[in-house]
Structure 1
């Protein structure tokens, strides 16, 4: 009997111990998951409007011969820097030299004839008409000689400006003429480079409304410095200025051409190259949200807003443009609302979250004056860029 009671007691203890372990192993109920959030604010933001541009030197002079002849000597090489007046080419002028000798002899003969007739006219032996005819022949001979001598001078070709030599498609011994399709070379003054780009009519209207001034020239003076993106995607380290704009719209393309000018002290930019001109435009007192907080649903831009009970609700946004890694929102959000900035793909309307406020890393907005001083700028605008995150 005692043995039976002992066994019953041991069994009860084992059952209690097993129940306790099961209770310990049972998972605890989890609360709402944490999500990073930010409070929406209104602030100033700088937007860069981009335009593809063609680069040319301030002077881009084609060197062409004025006479026909064989190239006897080339005194420069491709890419060489030259000064104004420096000798570039020598065109063979042997034929012109022979013509010049003949023309000079004709001048001498005409002069002899004038000298012979003058005393005869003075003594009234012959008519003055004969002397005047001889003088006219002398003048014609001198003009012919001067023309040939000038052509001989054209055989020596010098640089019309300071700059850099372009390609040399013709070698020594090649026949050159004024009517050939390609120039002998090109001299480009690349100390300052010009970036040419175009705006369509809609962009021109936006430009005219954005910058102050009664005329286009005044508006150009009120634009901030512009920057240039190079072919490798890097930003050129020299700032440029908008210099001119064509006052008329091209009837064929519907665009107006702008010209920006950039210093080129280290010859980084080359004539004939391409780049992207970036014009900074300051948007004042706008709603800005991070791009990774916005997701796309059925072609609409949306964001999750945190309610007072820490549940989320989606809202449709109207995106005006892009500013760095942020979107500028024109409709759909108000200052003071709290939005989820990461993990939107894990949420749905009504889901409860644990909001974790994160720091707004948006850089301090630049004023229009500071943009003019510190921000630099070119032919398709990317003003309406849309970046989305799938839900």
Structure 2
């Protein structure tokens, strides 16, 4: 073969080999470029925390006393000394009833007393006149005994007249209707001239003693169990004493400035509602709270060494809660947890499924899947639980 042809073939071979080598290098580079490293996710370590649970319950307020003001005698309303919403003191005059028959009875009783006293004087004179005659034997003992019986009869008549007067004065006093307690006057359905009797359906008014106000609310059976387990004490009285002061939120969303305390818990669950009734007492020095008003009672429950996780770190599926737990190989695993119904702000209180030292993905419940490998980015405990420390 000529030299020229041989050189040409050798050059083509070298060119082809170069193309193959370059092609192989290119394929290797593309293959390495397609391999993605594990995604970064923030991870924190579970550590026991101290926290306070705040749970609100709808409540209805009632004054310490709410008393119907009813007359004890019949009569027409002659005067009204108060208005609806007035603050009154115990013994303060509220109404004056017109009942002339009781005034007349008083007058007649006084007259009867005066007459009885005059009769007694006459009977005493007769006795004093008869006695010397009997002593001298001029008249018989019978005459003296008769005069003495007459005197006793007149004295009895005086005593009866005095009793009648006392009763008449009491009845006349009932025409002045006063407040039995300190409190606030309710509605007044009657006006001047209205006839009022002891059997009238509606009271003259009501007086509510609201120096202390009771808030009534209910807990369902599960909430009651959580409450009983979280408050120290072996008896109901001990648990009530160990319960921290409770807060009250008013109907407009504002916080009531005075703290209250739990006083009673119903010992029997309502079979219809499945709930237990609670009563909390709040001082009401400026009468801001009124009977019949509504609000929300907040019962704080202090926890120590509780397993807490941010709510954003968990997800709910078919009524169950799950988190992603990181293992030693940086693989995440679905872990079911049990949480309390009560929450500590933005945190779940975990009762089972996690322990101290577990590593949890902070925020990846939407993008992560089970057995995914990640690159953990550790978070400090202070950053995770900073809301609890504010």
Is 1:74 aligned to residue 80 of structure 2?
yes
1:377 matched residue in structure 2: none
| Alpha carbons of structure 1 residues 65 and 351: separation in structure 2 relative to 1, 3 Å | same
Q: CA deviation digits over 1:41-98, x for unaligned, max 9?
A: 2112222355544322334333222211111111111112223332211111223212
Q: How does 1:263-278 map to 2 (within 5 A)?
A: 263-278=283-298
Q: How does 1:295-310 map to 2 (within 5 A)?
A: 295-310=315-330
Which of the pair is proportionally richer in helix? 2
Is 1:48 aligned to residue 54 of structure 2?
yes
Is 1:105 aligned to residue 111 of structure 2?
yes
Is 1:245 aligned to residue 264 of structure 2?
yes
Where does the alignment leave 5 or more consecutive residues of structure 1 unmatched? 1-22, 367-391
Contact 1:249–1:255 (CA under 8 A) maintained in structure 2: no
Contact 1:43–1:285 (CA under 8 A) maintained in structure 2: yes
Partner residue of 2:44 out of 33, 38, 52: 38
Which structure: larger Rg?
A: 2
Where does the alignment leave 5 or more consecutive residues of structure 2 unmatched? 1-28, 131-142
Is 1:332 aligned to residue 359 of structure 2?
no
Q: Could you tell me how far apart the structure 1 residues matched to 2:297 and 2:236 are? A: 19
| Alpha carbons of structure 1 residues 52 and 136: separation in structure 2 relative to 1, 3 Å | farther
Give, in angstroms, the shift of residue 262 of structure 1: 1.8
1:175 matched residue in structure 2: 195
- TM-score of the two chains, using structure 2 as the length reference: 0.74
Partner residue of 2:94 out of 84, 88, 92: 88
Contact 2:77–2:97 (CA under 8 A) maintained in structure 1: yes
Contact 2:264–2:280 (CA under 8 A) maintained in structure 1: no
Equivalenced residue count is 341
Give, in angstroms, the shift of residue 286 of structure 1: 1.7
2:158 matched residue in structure 1: 138
2:186 matched residue in structure 1: 166
Is 1:220 aligned to residue 240 of structure 2?
yes
Q: How does 1:367-378 map to 2 (within 5 A)?
A: none
* RMSD (Å), alpha carbons: 3.5
Three-state SS of the structure 2 residue aligned to 1:116 is: helix
Q: Could you tell me how far apart the structure 1 residues matched to 2:280 and 2:216 are? A: 7
2:282 matched residue in structure 1: 262
Partner residue of 1:154 out of 157, 174, 186: 174
